[in-house]
Amino acid sequence: MKHFIYILLLVFFGLNVLAQPNKKTIKVSDKLQLIQISNHVWVHVSTEPITGFGLVSSNGAIYIRKDKAFLFDTPVSDSLTEVLVKAIADSLKAKIIGFVPNHWHEDCMGGLKYLQSIGVESYANQLAIEEAKKRNLPIPVHGFAESLKLKLSGKTIECWFPGGGHTKDNIVVWLPDEKVLFAGCMVKEMKSTGPGNLSDADVKNWPSTIGKVMKKYKNAQIVIPGHGLWGGPELLEHTLNLVTKIN
């Protein structure tokens, strides 16, 4: 009987291992790497100079279904965004058909001009579009006010504006089939000891914005910040603690 139970346990754990996503890391260059975090989601991590901050490592996400992809945030420059697009095509065998920036800063949509040059559709919070117009930046084509649902090979992408935080226009992107929340710069990694760049922040509303995100996306298993290491819902709680202290 013990032998039979032992065999069952081996089978159970064997199936569990087989069921886990085959996570990979692809080093494209010293400035760019792609890291798989779920069956259909990759994080692109780029390192480039950001005005006033020097070299900064920034995160974006790639959602792939079949041979098509949506991109959430670009590297800071058009040139590195071009490298990213080529890497997605060559290594991940997918073509980018849509793009959504988290907010108007260069570490979110610095590569928009290149994406538009190759015909990628762009979607953004209307507040981000207004900021882009004021600052003579490339302008996302399709705007939304509070929320927007997109489809990628029949799977839902939910874009939602919960309120101001890191900027007045920052949004989150929810991928329900993956239980992945791309929260961008409104959420800090666990190692962060402060809220970061406050030059365009909505400090007053940031805590309530994070509270809304925590309430709406209780099922999130992976939360991706704009910079640093991703994790689970604990990043939201950590961020709430940080931004509450500055109010």
Cα distances (Å, whole numbers) of residue 109 to 24, 48, 153: 25, 13, 24
Other CB atoms within 10 A of residue 92 CB: 17
Other CB atoms within 10 A of residue 208 CB: 17
Residues 6+ apart with CB under 8 A from 119: none
Cα distances (Å, whole numbers) of residue 202 to 96, 194, 223: 32, 15, 21
The two structure tokens encoding residue 95: 């073509």
Half-sphere exposure for 245 (CA within 13 Å, toward CB): 9
Residues 124/191, Cβ–Cβ less than 8 Å: no
Q: Classify residue 58 by its DSSP letter.
A: E
Other CB atoms within 10 A of residue 133 CB: 11
- How far does CA 198 lie from the centroid of its chain? 20
Catalytic residues: 103, 105, 107, 166, 185, 188, 197, 227
